[in-house]
Each structure stands twice: as C-alpha cells, then as structure tokens.
Structure 1
C-alpha cells in the first residue's frame, strides 16, 4: 500500500524515475506513517492499545546505557510482531561468506602480495535461462576482512552478483552494518521501514537486524528479462557509519547531511487465509540460518526513530582541490566507521569523481608511498586512471598495509613533464576502502575467484636511477658547501659504472 503523500524532499526532486519518497537528513530522528494517525500521540511510544490493532515493537541498535548522542533505536507499529516465526535452522549456501579473520580461521590469510580481481559474474549469463537462479544472499562472496564479528570489532569486504529477486524472502544481517555499492543493475530494496531505489552511483546503508529484500529493477517492457546485478559491499562490526568530522573545513564540504535519504513508511498486507510461507535468512557469525513465518515481515505501518536504512547519491559529493601538493585520500571521505581506538577510524569510504585539478608545480598522479592503511579500490564507472594494475569497472584491487606502491616509471616520467594547467578530471567514478589495519584475504579470493590478476612480474624493472647522472653536479654542490662527503657512481663486480645511459 502506498505511503501517505509527504512533502517532496528537495534532494529527491531530480530522481523522477524513482517511485518512492524519502525523508532527508543524516542521523535525524525521523517520523513517518503510511496511514494518518497511526503513530501514538506525542509523549508516548507504547500505548496500551495501538490504533487499528497494530503491535508496538522497538529495535535497539545500541546498548541502553549508550550516551544520548550515540543512542540509536526505532519504534515500529506493525501488523504482527517480528517474534511470530518458527524456530531458526542452520542452512547451507554461505560457504563463501566469512566474518572471522583471526589466525584461527584457515580460510583467511594475511599476505603482502598485491591482488586485483575482475568483475564478479552471476552464475546465469545475461541471455541464458539455463542454470540455477542466484539471489542477493547466494551471490554474496567475501574478499577479505579484519577482526571478528563476534568480538564486535572489524570489517568484511564482499563482492556480489545475482540475477533473481527475493520472492517471499527476506535477509537480516546480525553481524554488522552493511554498505552496498551497486556497479551494474538498479536495486529495489524493500525494508521493514520502507523502500529504497538504489542505482549505480548511489550507495545504501543497511543497519544490522533490519530485515530487507533485494530485487532488480527490470524494464517495464520486458519484466522477465534476465538481468544481473553486480557490485560491492563493505560490512563493519561493532560500529556504524557516520559522517567524518570536518575540522578546519568548518560547516560545509564533503557529503552534506541533507542529501542522505531515508525511506517513508510503506507496508504490505497479508490476508489471514493467505497461507504462503515467508522465509527469512539470518547471517550470524558468518553462518546462515533461516526461519519461516506465515506472514510478511514488511508490515510496518508507521515508525519513528534514528535506527533506519538510508541511501546517498554520490554525484552530490563536494570534492575539494588544492593549489599545490595533493590532498590525502580521506579528504574525499563520504562515510567513516570509527574504531574502538581513540582518534582512529576502522575504515573510511572515499569516492573519486569529477573534479578540477589546478595544483601548480605538483606531481598530480599518486606519489610513491607506504601507509598504515590497507587500500582497496573499485571502479563504478569508466576507466581506472592508475598504471600498475588492470582494474576495470566491477573489479577490485588490494594493497596490504605498509607495502610500497605507486605508479609505473613511464607514468611517473610522463606526469613529471606534463603541463600543470588546470584540467577537469571526469569520465570515471571509483572508490577506496581505506582500512586502518592489516587485512586478511579469504581462500575464495586468492584461489577460487574466477578472475584473479596478480601484479605483473617485472613491472618495476624499467625504473631508472636518475640521481646517478647528477653525481658530478652533486659533488660540486657538496664541495661548494664545504661538505666532506664525495659521491661516486655504483660499480658492478667487474668494475663497470652502473649508470643507465638510456635516460
């Protein structure tokens, strides 16, 4: 049943193809009802009797004693309480899902090697009707992670690919908060609190414990066409995504709070004699369980609170630029998840889209560096601008913490000689997971992924030692400054000077 007509959120005005309406404002206490008058009067959340015979139910996302600025919960008024279901049973199908990345898990390994993975394809081709159907839950594959969901500390990185809607099914992730990044295929996500339309170049965040279904938007003229959806997922344990502090930037910049959109209340209605079972799958400690119930879980007629899913249009991100030098990747941070360590994030989600490059007397390509953070990059649209790895749209790259990396010699030399004129960078959209720790890769990622691309052998062999050609100049400088050091060119065992003459 459609929700009550709200005032249109200005941030949603440009998405005319979206059938849903939204509430705006990151972290707000939202209030919405699909039928006027369902919410209890102000001053109470738990009336003795709810209107229309509905049941009041609360979902808490934080402990009761959490500070008020961190507390997050939602009150729902629904057809039947969520407790009305049959006992859960353990099921298969989650062999490629991991939530523990400690050394005790033989399926997760820490490695200093660089990896690149190609796009993950669904088990069904776009044109074929043969083969098993794959839902969102079945198409979720873990690349790697850190920590352990049962310790409420860490994260997991996944790719997904599926081609089938979740008919009469729902999913509830009890391990952590899930950020989805569609790369191909528009998602229609039905949650207990309302619906969200999420196309590529959008993201959606789904809090733990919220039940939802993920379906694919298909063309009206061919609703039965075989369309797949692929993308990425970042899951955080024991923490939640929030906006980064702006510091000296002040009140404005990066992702604006008003651009985050939350669903309006919207419900399905079950006839008492329907009799069709609804299957709900749970992910708990990386294992899958399921239970059935004779009614829909999407029967919330009204709700109010802060604990809710939301989406964000990445094209609205406010990119920063600099007149000299380079800004760190976290200056492109959309969302961050704080860790338990003071002043340190668990992971930052950074986006790189259209912007102007205006820095003068500056090397504009990524410089050579080593980093406490592990970097994973993915491409949503266009060509990846890096020169070292063959990363394409739908693929993912991995660079372990403290491992040195940068661009090839050829790319570095070209950028060193390029004009520093202002230029607009565009045509691509890619992201980075900036993880403040080591990251373990799963056995599936290192051995079973259908498209594993290791770093090309010899890619750094063309690197030149330019300094060796300037030793005479450097010695003159040292002599002029009364220095005692004398620089000599390196020699091979047979006494030859090791200076590259092809510079």
Structure 2
C-alpha cells in the first residue's frame, strides 16, 4: 500500500506547475470561473463555493507586511466538529523549560530510523528552541524521519514551517495546491495552512524550523544593490488543486504547543481557487546567488541569508535561514574556511549533503542529517584537522561544490529539549575536535 501511495505521489510531483515570485499577489483556479472577478466576497461566490479569508498577519499591519489569501472552497473551514487533545509525541514547543540553556557546544548524529509506519507528523522530533509560541516570538528546531505517507492533515497555528529535506523527497498537498520538495530544496508552509505530507521515496529525513515570529521575508540587500542572494523569481508557489473527498479525515492542529485532533466528514484540502500572498513556496537552494570576496578576508556570513524573520530591533533577526551553497573561494592571503569566532547570535547548523568546509566529515564527525548547536558567545570554528590543512593550502581559486549546509540563526539562546539533551545520538566527545590546536606563538 505504501509503495502504491509513493508511486502516485511521484506521478503528481512530476506533473506539477507553479507560479513564481516571493511575496507576490498570486492567483490560481483549478476550475475556470471559480475565481470571482472584482470582489473578494461576492454575495454568491462562483460555482456554489464559499469565500473565506486566511490572514497570516493582523488586519492593520502595514501593507508591506500584511499577509492574507482569499480562498474559494467547497465547504468553509468553520464546518468542523470540536477538536480534542491528542498525544504530542516528540513535539515540544516554547517556552522550553525542561532543561536550562547550555553554553557548551553540542552536536548530534542523524535521528535513528523510525518505527515502521511512521508518517511525517509522527516522525517530528523537537531538538530545542527559544521564545514563546503564545507570544509569537522565537523559534524551534525540529527534525523528522518518516517511512510512510500521511493519510491525515496537519496545520500549525503556532508558526510557519520551513522544511529542509535531507533524504527523500516530499509531496506537500496543501490547501492552496501541491508542492514537491526534494533534498537541495526547501518548502515554506505559512502559519495555519493545512497540508498533508506524502513521500516520494521509501523514507524521508530532514529538518524543520518552526518560526513563531514575523513571517520569513527576503532580506534587504543594502550596498549589494538590486540583485543577489535569493532571487524572488526562483520561489515557486502552487497552482490550485483541490480534493472533493467525502468520508472521515483526521485533521490535527498544533495550538499553543499542543496537538489537537478532529475527525472531519470531508477533506479540508478543498480550495478550488484562491488569490493572495499568504501562500506556500518551494525554493531550490542551488539557485542562491552567492556574494563573496574577490580580494581578501571574509564578508560576514550574513551574506548567505536566504530568508529572515525580523524582530522589533532593526537588523536583529528573530531567526535567519542561511545556506552555504556551492561557490568559489579566491581570497588572497586569507584563511578560507570560516574563521574562529564568538557570536551574539545562536546557531543551529545542519548538513544536507557532502561535507562542510570547516568540519571533518565521516564517522563521528559532521554528517548529513546531523546537526550542531553553538549558543551565543560559545567559541567555535574550524576543527584542528581543517585548520592544519587550510593553513598550508596553496591559495589558488577553489570551487566549493561538494557540500550543502545551512543554518538557523536566532537572536536568543536555543534551549535543548530533554529528549535532545539526553539523546543516544548526541555526540558526547564533540569538544575533542578542537583538541590539538597547539601553541604556535614564537616571539
């Protein structure tokens, strides 16, 4: 049964169409004439549909920050039974109080294999985070490992979800249409949008940033100018695709840290047409236009920012999503891997493929599916082996294309959950990678 679902999902993914442009006012209809012209909520919506607005921001926020989409659906979202509490599984939510914030550098191996029949939601495992979901501040880091497609539907009222596949592709069946996200791509599911995850391969593994704060947006470019970093046209939004399904469907809602469930008599993925800018996206990280030095030294790693969630302090992000994409290194008389540093921001780093240029790969190292946490002001940088190699390297132009790493960077310390702090796949000897950095000072 699972293989049949996967094959069907692959066929759908291969035939998907998209609308392009991040933050644009998109519009789409699965049936001609389903999208009303000139009015958002006419007295009678076309084709017997119901008009409904989904708001991802307060009504009175500035136009540049306002997010909403108008949905024209078979049944209104209000037509559902009461929700009841269900088990949270391995999902945890801010405020994180099971442990205290840890100043030590931490690194984990990939999640263990899931139990047979684990879908994406059941395979969601919280590593840690900060802030307060009920106050709409902060973020959480989750990982997932699944071997079965979902037959239920999920939505997150606490925040938007940035999904980073590391192994196995995903077909995301959302209210606004379908998206396919494979390793090397990321998918953004806005707050409150309902979706189902179907697998494109036998198993799927990856990372999730749950952003409780202001929605992700493209960063300002400042002196860079009009072009560079992530191009808006490379973000792909879905076209309308609806399910007209009668029968019992479980719908799970994450609300203020807890999971709630209700059994609908129909699929809630029944939007026939829509328009707006509160929409899901998929983005290929390999299209990121890397900006770097062409003389000497390092620009700050903020030049790798794909998306940012601003805070109330200009320039201080609630959370940034940063990618270390393929690029050339040409700096003269420059130590080319990331330098040793301490930072007021806290960093969770994951690896999608290959190796990261500041860390040794392989058994017990920084491997795809694993991750490291460097909280604010914790000293970190290249390990001893990388330092020795880079210090003696011939400085010819060097192409970095054998790895794809990313980072969730946030203004507050990330507190690990109890399950992460005591996990069997936590690397207890992570500090050892900096041992042997000997004294070279010769006055």
The match for 1:416 is 391
**Contact 2:128/2:416 (8 A) holds in 1:** yes
Structure 1 unmatched ranges of 5 or more? 1-14, 125-130, 219-226, 471-503
Residue aligning to 2:248? 277
**Structural mapping, 1:351-430, within 5 Å:** 351-387=323-359, 390-430=365-405
Shift of 1:443: 0.5
1:115 corresponds to 2:106: yes
CA contact (8 A) 1:120 1:450 kept: no
Which region of structure 1 is more displaced relative to structure 2, 419-428 or 402-411? Answer: 402-411
- Give the aligned partner of residue 6 of structure 2: none
Distance 2:80 2:319 in 1: 36
Q: How big is the shift at 1:50?
A: 1.4
How much has 1:417 moved relative to structure 2? 2.4
Work out the CA distance in 2 between the residues paired with 1:461 and 1:33. 60
What SS does the aligned partner of 1:277 have?
strand
| CA–CA separation in structure 1 for the residues paired with 2:67 and 2:13 | 32
- Residue number in structure 2 paired with 1:12: none
Which has the larger displacement, 175-184 or 63-72?
63-72
User: Could you say if the C-alpha distance between residues 242 and 161 of structure 1 is closer, same or farther in structure 2, counting changes exceeding 3 Å?
Assistant: same
Residue aligned with 1:411, SS: helix
Residue among 177, 192, 200 paired with 1:194: 177
The match for 1:350 is 322
Judge conservation of contact 1:121–1:230 (CA < 8 Å) in 2. Answer: no
**Other-structure match for 2:21:** 25
Alpha-carbon distance between aligned partners in 2 of 1:420 and 1:383, rounded to the nearest angstrom = 20
- Check the 8 A contact 1:321/1:358 in 2, yes or no: no
Matched, 1:317 2:274: no
Per-residue CA deviations over 1:59-89 (Å, capped at 9, x if unaligned) read: 1111111111111111111111111111100
CA contact (8 A) 1:122 1:134 kept: no
Return the match for 2:156 from 161, 173, 185. 173
Cα separation, partners in 2 of 1:340 and 1:99, compared to 1, 3 Å: farther
Task: Compute the displacement of 1:428 (Å).
Answer: 1.0
Map of 1:493 onto structure 2: none
Aligned to 1:89: 84
Partner of 1:248, secondary structure, is helix
* Secondary structure class of the residue paired with 1:150: helix
Residue in structure 2 matched with residue 80 of structure 1 by the alignment = 75
> SS of the residue aligned with 1:363?
coil
- Is the 8 Å Cα contact of residues 346 and 435 (structure 1) preserved in structure 2? yes
TM-score, structure 1 as length reference: 0.82
Do 1:177 and 1:205's aligned partners in 2 also have CA atoms closer than 8 Å? Answer: yes
Contact 1:373–1:438, Cα closer than 8 Å, also in 2: yes
Where does residue 48 of structure 1 map in the other structure?
Answer: 43
Size of the aligned set, in residue pairs, is 429
Which structure has the larger Rg? 1
Q: Mark the CA change 1:316 to 1:95 in structure 2 (over 3 Å): closer, same or farther.
A: same
Please report the TM-score for the alignment, with normalisation by the length of structure 2. 0.93
Which residue, out of 247, 254, 270, partners 2:222? Answer: 247
Gaps of at least 5 residues in structure 2 are: 1-10
Q: Retained in 2: the 8 A contact 1:348–1:433?
A: yes
